[in-house]
Each structure stands twice: as C-alpha cells, then as structure tokens.
A = this chain, B = another copy of it.
Amino acid sequence: MSFEITILGSGSALPTSDKFPSAHVLNIHERFFLIDCGEGTQIQLRKLKIKFTKINHIFISHLHGDHFFGIFGIISSLSLLGRKNDLHIYSPGKLEKIVYSVINKKDIGFNIFFHRLEFDAYTTIYESKRIEISAFPLKHRIETYGYIFKEKPHERTVIKEAIPKYNLSIADILQIKKGEDYFDRTGQLISSSELSIPPKKSRSYAYCSDTEYTEQIIPFIENVDVLYHEATFGEDLKSTAKETKHSTAKEAAIIAKKANAVSLLIGHFSTRYKNTDSLLNEAKTIFPNTIAVKDGDKFNIPEQRNDFLK
C-alpha cells in the first residue's frame, strides 16, 4: 500500500527556472491528495505523469499566490477532461469567492465543495476508513494552516495456519485482529503472537508551510514519519525570517527534533539561495535526517511492522 510524497514545487514566492512554487502531492493507497497548488501545478503533474484526474481533495495552506494560483488551471483542465466526480477544496479565507470570480461556475462540469478552515485548534477535517487528515493553525502574515495526513491504526494480521489449528470463527478472527485476548474452547488463553503478527505501522506526513518558528505545532506533529517544514531562509537572514514570518532551516530542524519526527524535508527556499547546501547543512547540525527537496523528488514511506508491539 503506497504512501508517497511527490514534490511538485520547492520554491517560494518567486519561481525560478528549476523551482516551481509550492505544491506537494501525497499518494495514500492510490488516493491522491494535492497540498498547495502554486502556479504551474498542473504542468508539474503532467511532467511527473501523475494522473490529476485521480485527485479528489486539495488542501491549500493559505491564500498567498505562490500557494494557490494554480487552482484555476487545475479546475479548468479537470472540467475540459470531462470530470464528473466531486472535488473537495480545503482552505482558509474566501477561496470559493475568488475561484468563481475567475471561472464561471456554470462552465465547470462537476461539483466543487469548498471547506473553509476557520479554527484555532487542531481539527480533523477528513476521515475515511483508513485515513485521517487534520489541520492546525500556523503563524504567518495571514491565516495559514498546516496539515497532517495519517493512516489510521492498522489491525494485527491473523496467521493463516492458526485458523484451522484453533478452528477460528469469523468472530474470533475479528477479535484477534483487534488484539483482544483469545481463549480456545477449553478456556485456555492463547497468546496473541501464536495467532497473529503485529500490525503495520501507521504512516504519517505533516506539511507546515508557511510559518514562523512556533512550538505550538509540536503536539500536533509529534512522532510524524515525514515532516515537511518550510525553511525559506538561513540563519544569516534570521531577522528577515522574523519580519516576514518565515522560518530558517535551523528553526525547521529544531521543530523536527522537538517533535521527534523520523525525517525532515525542508523547502520553500528563497531565490537568494542559488544553492541550498548551506540551508541543508544548517538543519543537519540539529537534525541529521534532513533532506532539502527539489522539484520532482519522491519520498516513499515503506510499510513496516510494529515489531515492538509483539
């Protein structure tokens, strides 16, 4: 089951010849979630051969142009391609009004549901059988939200051979999958490890852009597998970061460390940095498992068993 992040754009407000503005796409079990949608997102999706007709949910962090100017093109193209499925767009601010100022609603051949984010605490905004998506406020010049995408806890996997051996019924199996105790017909407790193997780990991805350094987000992203945190500047421009309510690479790394993340992706680099090595090195001194993203990068979180849960 896939859990893969693709970086469509790693740049900041001013795109460059090799850095499109912000957009990530997350593939969870072949369901595609688009996170931010800077200008040219649809072009990047085409280049990277991601079928954007498979996107049903778009999450916009905030209404600065480099995070949403691609929404008009995506909507128009989806309509031209004959889409009929609903599209859900999550965003703070008046995105619905903006979209319909640019595109005639009656020219769109499918329904768009705009979900306006307007809260100051961690809030679950989407839930399916296997996935849970939540948003939480970041601290930027305008209302901005971070997102966290989590697989729901998996169940244990019943060992095939145990089924005939203990003559397990469907009700027994459902109970064992949940990790509950099992007693055989003689009333004897059979240990969980004889009947099943530990569940797969629930994977998670958090997206935090744009924001100044804020420890308030740490409880929401604790133990995340992959944390994306903006790193617009280096410590050399810490005062600019503060003024414009952005973070430095070092600050991103401190958040990753304090949140006990497994890995950190940094991006949203200012055009001042022709080369992002200095930003990467700065982050690595604090949090070694950091990667400075490039457009087109893919990060796959493999399935793993929670072996410690034996």
A residues near B (Cβ < 8 Å) are: 13-17, 20-21, 39-40, 42-43, 46-47, 65-66, 69-70, 72-73, 76-77, 80-81, 97-98, 101-103
Q: Decide if B73 touches A72 in the complex (CB within 8 Å).
A: no
| CB-defined A-B contacts under 8 Å, sample of 9 | A13-B80, A15-B77, A16-B46, A39-B72, A39-B73, A40-B40, A65-B76, A69-B69, A69-B72
Q: Decide if B14 touches A43 in the complex (CB within 8 Å).
A: no
Assembled-state Cα–Cα distance A244/B98 (Å): 27
**Copies of this protein in the complex:** 2
Given contact pairs A21-B73, A39-B39, A39-B42, enumerate 18 new A-B contacts (beta carbons under 8 Å). Answer: A13-B76, A13-B80, A14-B77, A15-B42, A15-B73, A17-B43, A17-B46, A17-B47, A39-B40, A39-B72, A39-B73, A65-B72, A65-B73, A69-B69, A69-B76, A69-B102, A97-B101, A98-B101
Assembled-state Cα–Cα distance A192/B39 (Å): 57
- Give chain B residues whose Cβ lies under 8 Å from the Cβ of A43: 15, 17, 20, 39-40
> Which one of B47, B70, B81, B98 lies within 8 Å of A14 (CB-CB)?
B81
- Give chain B residues whose Cβ lies under 8 Å from the Cβ of A20: 43
Q: Which 8 A-B pairs have the closest CB atoms?
A: A101-B101, A39-B73, A40-B40, A17-B47, A65-B76, A17-B46, A69-B72, A15-B43
Closest chain B CB from A17 CB (angstroms): 4
Closest chain B CB from A122 CB (angstroms): 29
Assembled-state Cα–Cα distance A70/B72 (Å): 10
- Give chain B residues whose Cβ lies under 8 Å from the Cβ of A73: 15, 21, 39, 65, 69
Assembled-state Cα–Cα distance A81/B43 (Å): 24
Q: Decide if B77 touches A13 in the complex (CB within 8 Å).
A: yes
- Give chain B residues whose Cβ lies under 8 Å from the Cβ of A15: 42-43, 46, 73, 77
- Give chain B residues whose Cβ lies under 8 Å from the Cβ of A46: 15-17
Closest chain B CB from A104 CB (angstroms): 10
- Give chain B residues whose Cβ lies under 8 Å from the Cβ of A80: 13-14
- Give chain B residues whose Cβ lies under 8 Å from the Cβ of A14: 77, 80-81
With most chain B CB atoms within 10 A of its CB, the pick from A20, A40, A98 is: A40
Which residue of chain B has the shortest Cβ distance to A76 in the bound complex? B65
- Give chain B residues whose Cβ lies under 8 Å from the Cβ of A98: 101-102
Closest chain B CB from A130 CB (angstroms): 32
Closest chain B CB from A155 CB (angstroms): 41
Assembled-state Cα–Cα distance A81/B39 (Å): 17
Assembled-state Cα–Cα distance A16/B20 (Å): 16
Assembled-state Cα–Cα distance A242/B288 (Å): 61
Assembled-state Cα–Cα distance A27/B205 (Å): 46
- Give chain B residues whose Cβ lies under 8 Å from the Cβ of A42: 15, 39
Assembled-state Cα–Cα distance A17/B50 (Å): 11
